[in-house]
Amino acid sequence: MKVIEHIERTTAPFVSIEIIPPKRGGSFEQIDRAIASILPYKPPFIDVTSHSAEVIWDEQPDGTFKRVVKRKSPGTFGICAAIKYKYNIDPVPHILCAGFTREETEDALIELNYLGVENLLLIRGDAKYDKPVAEGKSVNRYAVNLVEQVAAMNRGCYLDKLMDAVPTDFCIGVAAYPEKHFQSPNLKFDIEVLKKKQDAGAHYAVTQMFFDNRHYFDYVEKCRAAGVTIPIIPGLKIITLKKHLQALPAAFHINFPEEFVDALMNAKDDVQARQIGLDFAYHQALDLLDKGVKHLHYYVMLNANPFIELMERLKKKL
């Protein structure tokens, strides 16, 4: 089933999650256990992140370092197949602009279509290195270009003009930024970009994580005023470590409420910080649900335990 159908048909609030493939050389069992542990909470769909290649300096036996270009965490498509056919949950693979040509993207989309995957989350991604583009190949510079490519395939238009080409039927998700994308000059510009994604064919959006619900509600209100009508799903993260206070703003350009920062900074250790983070996540979720939000999306990655604890506390609301 498509994500947009899950959203439109729901009669009660539900929760979805995002996970990340294990690093190269890791075991599928780790992520398999994480998925199995969240099954009692019936997520209608699970996002699976994707990663472009990056430059890695591998140490050689002689002590020198060799420049190697590789993907640290491959396996997105295989995990999506397992989610769909082992657990009967709709997978949502992330498809990136960065690090992939349009031709590689088309091949990937054909593979996913053959797998029966119906949903995609299309994002620009962060380029880990400047991948050379071979002559005759092309790239999607921005997420809106990626949306245009998928929407074209949904109309049966491939990069090469093919006779009797069968249209795909992907549900297209995109990213949204309640505190604006860090490269956008202001929030107004950022919302205009989301509107362009919608007009290009996006069916729904999922937000970057946020920790002040006012950012989300203000953002949705401004989006609606600007003509954005697609569902905007709140993306949420459970804080479990004090170092998240520095790591998450550095990586995702987000802010924490002052009271939450003060509480975490005064935590005597990470055990207490974890409890503070869970308490905050619980009250943040309650506020969203009490104000009519029907769908919460959690960035779980590979550690499902905090999510499970939160869901146990939220059971009466879901």
Number of domains in the chain: 1
SS3 9: helix
DSSP state of 40: G
Return all residues near 108 (Cβ < 8 A) that are at least 6 apart: 77, 95, 100
136 phi-psi bin (left φ>0, alpha ψ -120 to 50, beta other): left
| pLDDT at residue 173, as a whole number | 98
What span, in angstroms and rounded, lies between the C-alpha atoms of 288 and 283?
9
Dihedral angle computed from the Cα positions of residues 7, 8, 9 and 15, in that order, rounded to the nearest 10 degrees: 10
Give the distance between the most distant pair of CA atoms in the chain: 67
Q: pLDDT, tens digit, for every residue of 238-247?
A: 999 999 999 9
Digitized pLDDT (tens) for each residue of the chain, 318 residues in all: 999 999 999 888 999 999 999 888 888 888 899 999 999 999 999 999 987 655 444 545 554 445 454 455 578 999 999 999 999 999 999 999 988 899 999 999 999 999 999 999 999 987 655 666 666 678 899 999 999 999 999 999 999 888 889 999 999 999 999 999 999 999 999 999 999 999 999 999 999 999 999 999 999 999 999 999 999 999 999 999 999 999 999 889 999 999 999 999 999 999 999 999 999 999 999 999 999 999 999 999 888 999 999 999 998 877
Q: Is the pTM of this model over 0.75?
A: yes
Give residue 304's Cα distance to chain centre. 16
DSSP state of 142: S
DSSP state of 21: P
**Minimal CA–CA distance to 167: which of 119, 109, 97, 95?**
109
**Minimal CA–CA distance to 98: which of 55, 51, 135?**
51
CATH number at residue 208: 3.20.20.220
Q: Which amino acid is at 59?
A: E
SS3 298: strand
**Minimal CA–CA distance to 75: which of 83, 63, 87, 64?**
83
- Report residue 62 as tokens: 């002689």
The DSSP line for 147-216 is HHHHHHHHTT--SS--TTPPP---EEEEEE-TT--TTSSSHHHHHHHHHHHHHHT--EEEEPP-S-HHHH
CB 47 within 8 A of CB 100: no
Domain that holds residue 189: 3-317
What span, in angstroms and rounded, lies between the C-alpha atoms of 34 and 28?
10
140 burial type by CB count under 10 A (0-12 exposed, 13-18 middle, 19+ buried): buried
CB 119 within 8 A of CB 3: yes
